A and B are shown apart, each in its own frame.
Chain A
């Protein structure tokens, strides 16, 4: 994820991650997806609905849960924006990677609380991520 975020700098990257849902969420694999946003990709990302459909199919085919979405904030803190909140859906973890001048600075994860309509930060324990 961080490599994708750095390679995409100064544009925002986006991708899905998959794994197991339990008391904690374990990420097993992440997959890049194209930022389909028309216009300024340095401050916006969008996923084509067809790509989303493929992401759900990948999860089902591999017996994994689609746990969430990662995206980068180029030269910006790893905190969700108003725009991120407005577009957030329940259940998903939203990983945000802050990339400062091309180098990963900070990684955070957030989940929407559907009762308060606010993001709550999740704790991250980083091991090694696979990538396919």
Chain B
């Protein structure tokens, strides 16, 4: 079991809960576990192919999983996983 930190913009899909306990031995398994608990969250995290959206970044502790083993990164029972929405924009 790990803890997943839900970013503020997505908390309306987790009944305003900021931290959710999830199951699984990898990042992917824990994120799937999260989506199973909160189906409304699914489309905001996964694309139509079931992959994590490119606008979503996942951190394990303070490290981007892209510099670890990506979705296959191992998750321990005391791990803290953060979902981070990409923040960007500009005038044109």
Name A's B-contacting residues (CB within 8 A). 12, 14, 37, 43-47, 49-50, 52-53, 56, 59-60, 65-66, 69, 71, 73-74, 76, 80-84, 87-92, 94
- Known contacts A49-B59, A56-B82, A60-B18; A89/B88 CB under 8 A: no
Q: Which of these, B59, B82, B85, B92, contacts A89 with CB under 8 Å?
A: B85
Chain B's interface: helix, strand, loop or mixed, by majority? Answer: mixed
Given contacts A49-B64, A49-B86, A53-B84, 7 further A-B pairs with CB under 8 A are A43-B91, A43-B92, A46-B88, A73-B91, A87-B55, A89-B9, A89-B85
A72 — nearest CB in chain B belongs to which residue? B91
- Known contacts A50-B62, A56-B7, A59-B8; A87/B91 CB under 8 A: no
A-B contact pairs, 17 of them (CB 8 A): A43-B91, A44-B90, A45-B89, A47-B87, A47-B88, A53-B82, A53-B84, A56-B8, A73-B91, A74-B91, A76-B92, A82-B92, A90-B10, A91-B8, A91-B9, A91-B10, A91-B12
Closest Cβ of chain B to A105, distance in Å, is 13
Judging by beta carbons under 8 Å apart, are B12 and A45 in contact?
no
Judging by beta carbons under 8 Å apart, are A46 and B84 in contact?
no
- Known contacts A50-B62, A53-B59, A60-B18; A45/B88 CB under 8 A: yes
**B74 CB-CB contact with A under 8 Å:** no
Closest Cβ of chain A to B62, distance in Å, is 7
Q: Point out the residues of chain B lying under 8 angstroms from A65, CB to CB.
A: 8
